[in-house]
Amino acid sequence: MSGPGWWTGTRLVSGRAIVSGWSSRSWKVVTGLMLMAGLASIIVPRMLSDQTPSYTLATVGQPPAAVQAQLEQVARVGQFEVSFLPAADEQAAIEAVRDGKATIALVGSGAGAVLHVASGTGATFPTLVAQAVLADSTAEALRESGLSPEQIATIQSTPLPAQVPVGRVADEGRAGVGFASGLVLYLALILTGTSIGTAVATEKSTRISEVLLAVLRPTQLLVGTVLGVGVLGLIQVAALAVPAAVGVLSGGGLDVPAESTGDIALAVVWFVLGMVLYAFVFAALASLVEKVTEVGSVTTPVNIVIVGSYLLAVTVTGTSPNSWAAVAGSLFPLSAPLVMPVRWASGLVPTWQLGLSMLLTAGAAVLLALLASRIYARGITRTGRRVRLREALSD
Amino acid sequence: MPRVVLRAIGLSHRFGERRALAGVDLVVRPGVLTGLLGPNGAGKTTLMRALLGVIEPDDGQILWQERPVTFADRQRWGYMPQDRGLYPTMPAGAQLTYMARLHGLGRVDAAARARELLDELGLADRWGERTEKLSGGMQQRLQLGAALVHSPDVVVLDEPFAGLDPVAVEDLSVSLRDRVRAGRTVVLSSHQLDLVQDLCEEIVMIDHGRTVLAGAVAQLRASSGRRQLRLGLGPGAPRDWLDRFPAVHLVADQVDAVRLDIPAEVDPLAVLDAARAAGPVTDFGLDLPTLSQLFLTAAERAAQPEVAP
């Protein structure tokens, strides 16, 4: 009886890693937490967006029709609710404000109108009521000067000047999605990388790797482990990102543009590139240790690079996406998987830079995977003490 | 079937500055239980890992059926490492099924083979039990099952008796003997030389990465030219009568017994008579030297510097 082919053996190794991880309590707990975080990212903005402000205007008798119509129109645009409370007299209207039943009491009309505003009310609603009263008075004056209602309506329907937000990025909402993608990528790389390191060190310390290497080639064991644990990491990322993406794409109380759909898809590509880049390095370094507890110390340099890249992404890149540091960080292969998605979401990156960055990262990933295979093949078979990186590379 | 199935010639290997193998030779005949013996650190595990292809030796040659061994040849061997080579949280049945699948069996055949082996090893009722929940002896049997799951041409076991209680040692010994009787080839390593003395038909002793003694156990012990006289004496019996035999060497001195190395020129009966004259002798017998004693002699000989002619 001979062993399986290269791919069959690799698939069996990755399948076992998936089943083992899937059934482990720690994986279930972490995945559950990430799913909850993902769901929270949809639910919380919706809950917050449901809390629309509401105001009540108390008037002596029925509110003036023009004031009521203007306030209701502004309320629809400004996303607040307005209601009206007709009072028997001036004193009753003011009393309604004092009792908290109304926000403002409008007493009098025209130039003699007075607004009794509940303390603690912001400036927005009183200003809007004042503008409505003023508009009503202006319309009255225009009517008295002989203008027809159509002419008055034309004068008063002059649109307000358009508002164009000017920021450091093209679209704040899109940039926010970019930041979120960066955070998810960072968590995914750290969690999955650590899981791969732990899996490799466990197999080595329990000598399971020796049994497997008697029937499999080191590359089969390495690729199978990386694939298996990588798939588990992808599921965790999906648990966090899919609900968040659904929330973003369905509006979910967030103000994001359509380009964010493409940005999220691009983030998935960057996750795969980042995983290929870092996963083999994590596995190779973990193959050098003798005990599972040593994985943390041996992978510290890689973790520092990932943390540094993330900090660069959320600080320099977020505020100055076209600064030299941001451009360099998004092109340098080791930091690109974390920096470029955030920078790209600024909407200020030329497409050729994105292509170059992906090309450089893919090339570096292939080179690192080859180097990691060499280190892994030597590290995994040396037991009794921690193997130095130089030893694994030299002979 | 060739007279030798597995042969290692002049294997050398270094781990950095440390030389683990220094030109070791090994011969394994088919259908024989061969013991690879030596103290801790002698190079046994490194040799086994080299045989299995887990490491590639710096120098030397490994032959399978008298031709250079290939990866495909090795896939038909079974290997049980010194430490547990099992997934602690994986159920026993799944463990064997997985190993069988790695050796090329289909899903259904692998499960059937796993059930058959668990039954054979007395673990039929442990199919769904996590490996870490099994006793040490059961884990050892399960590990043996993992090495046998693909009906290998040769089984290589690294320190299979380490950490086992006497009952588990006996169980495993019986299992191995049964397999050898059924025509299997088994190679096992051990640093407990006397433990495997009655189990192995042939041995290869290594020390400091070199072969110091090799051959059939019975032949090596008989041809050593040394005999040992075992005497059971009363508690506190004197030993001064031994002074009359300066060529006799005291090998072991216990409270109620001594073991004496008797050179060819000394009559063992004369020694027995002297002991009886000094006090009561409760038991006696003439033995061949143990493997430990043969090893010590061979290791000393190997360590002596060569004298230039």
- Higher per-residue confidence, B11 vs B171: B11
Of A3, A211, A217, the CB nearest to B146: A211
Residues sharing a CB contact under 8 Å with residue A331, sequence separation 6 or more, in sequence order: A340, A353, A356, A357, A360
Q: What is the mean pLDDT of chain A?
A: 84
B270-289 residues labelled b (16+ CB within 10 A) or e (exposed): ebbeebeeeeebeebeeebb
Work out the pLDDT band at B308, boundaries 50, 70, 90: very low
Using a CB–CB cutoff of 8 Å, tell me whether A216 touches chain B: yes
- Average pLDDT of span B39-45: 87
Q: How far apart are CA A28 and CA A34, in angstroms?
A: 10
pLDDT of residue A49: 63
The arithmetic mean of pLDDT across residues B81-97, rounded, is 88
CB contact under 8 A, B82 and A1: no
Residues A298-302: contacts with CB under 8 Å, at least 24 apart: A298/A197, A298/A386, A299/A193, A299/A194, A299/A197, A302/A193, A302/A278
Q: Summarize the confidence of residues B27-37 as an average pLDDT.
A: 92
Q: Do B49 and A206 touch (CB under 8 A)?
A: no
β-strand B249-253 against B257-262: which pairing, if any? antiparallel
Compare all CA atoms of chain B with the CA of A199 and give the residue at the minimum distance: B87
> How far off is chain A from B83, nearest CA to CA, in Å?
6
Query: Could you tell me how many residues make up chain B?
Result: 309
> To the nearest whole number, what is the mean pLDDT of chain B?
87
pLDDT in tens, B205-230: 998 899 988 888 888 887 777 788 99
- Its pTM surpasses 0.80: no
**What's the CA gap between A144 and A136, in Å, rounded?**
13
Would you call A391 an interface residue with chain B, using a CB distance cutoff of 8 Å?
yes
Mean pLDDT of B243-249: 90
The low-confidence residues of chain A, meaning pLDDT below 70, are: 1-3, 45-46, 48-51, 157-172, 248-249, 251-258, 395
pLDDT digits (tens, 9 = 90+) for B291-305: 777 787 777 766 665
In percent, how much of chain B has pLDDT > 70? 96
Please indicate whether, in this complex, the C-beta atoms of B102 and A3 are within 8 angstroms of each other: yes
Mutate to test the interface with A, among B69, B73, B75, B107 (most CBs of A within 10 A): B75
Give the tens place of pLDDT for each residue, B100-141.
999 889 999 999 999 999 998 889 899 999 999 998 888 888
Test mutation, B12, B15, B69, chain A, max A CBs within 10 A: B15
Instruction: Identify the burial level of B235 via C-beta atoms within 10 angstroms of its C-beta, where 0-12 means exposed, 13-18 middle and 19 or more buried.
Output: exposed
Burial A352-365, CB ≥16 within 10 A → b, else e: ebbeebbeebeebb
Residues of chain B found within 8 Å of residue A4, distances taken between Cβ atoms: 101-104
DSSP track, chain B: --S-SEEEEEEEEEETTEEEEEEEEEEE-TT-EEEEE--TTSSHHHHHHHHHTSS--SEEEEEETTEE--HHHHTTEEEE-SS--S-TTSBHHHHHHHHHHHTT--HHHHHHHHHHHHHHTT-GGGTTSBGGGS-HHHHHHHHHHHHHTT--SEEEEESTTTT--HHHHHHHHHHHHHHHHTT-EEEEEES-TTTTTTT-SEEEEEETTEEEEEEEHHHHHHTT--EEEEEEE-TT---GGGGG-TT-EEEEE-SSEEEEEE-TTS-HHHHHHHHHHHS-EEEEEEEPPPHHHHHHHHHHHHHSPPPP-
Which residues are CB-neighbours of B42 under 8 A, at least 6 positions away? Answer: B191, B206, B207, B208, B209
Please give the pLDDT value at position A170: 60
Q: Does A290 touch chain B (CB under 8 A)?
A: no
Residue bearing the bigger pLDDT, A393 or B233 = B233
Task: Give the gap in angstroms from C-alpha A208 to the nearest C-alpha of chain B.
Answer: 4
- Minimal CA separation from B149 to chain A, in Å: 11
Residues of chain B neighbouring A212 (CB-CB closer than 8 A): 102
Residue B16 gets the label, from left (phi > 0), alpha (psi -120 to 50) or beta, of left
Q: Is A294 on the interface with B (CB under 8 A)?
A: no
Please enumerate in sequence order all residues whose Cβ is within 8 A of that of B192, keeping only pairs 6 or more positions apart, or say none: B161
Question: pLDDT tens digits for B253-266?
Answer: 888 899 898 887 88
pLDDT at site B16: 74
pLDDT at B309 over 60: no
- Spatial CB neighbours of A80, under 8 Å, sequence gap ≥ 6: A52, A53, A54, A55, A125
pLDDT 10s digits, A270-327? 888 998 899 999 999 999 998 888 998 999 999 999 999 999 988 877 778 888 999 9
CB contact under 8 A, B101 and A212: no
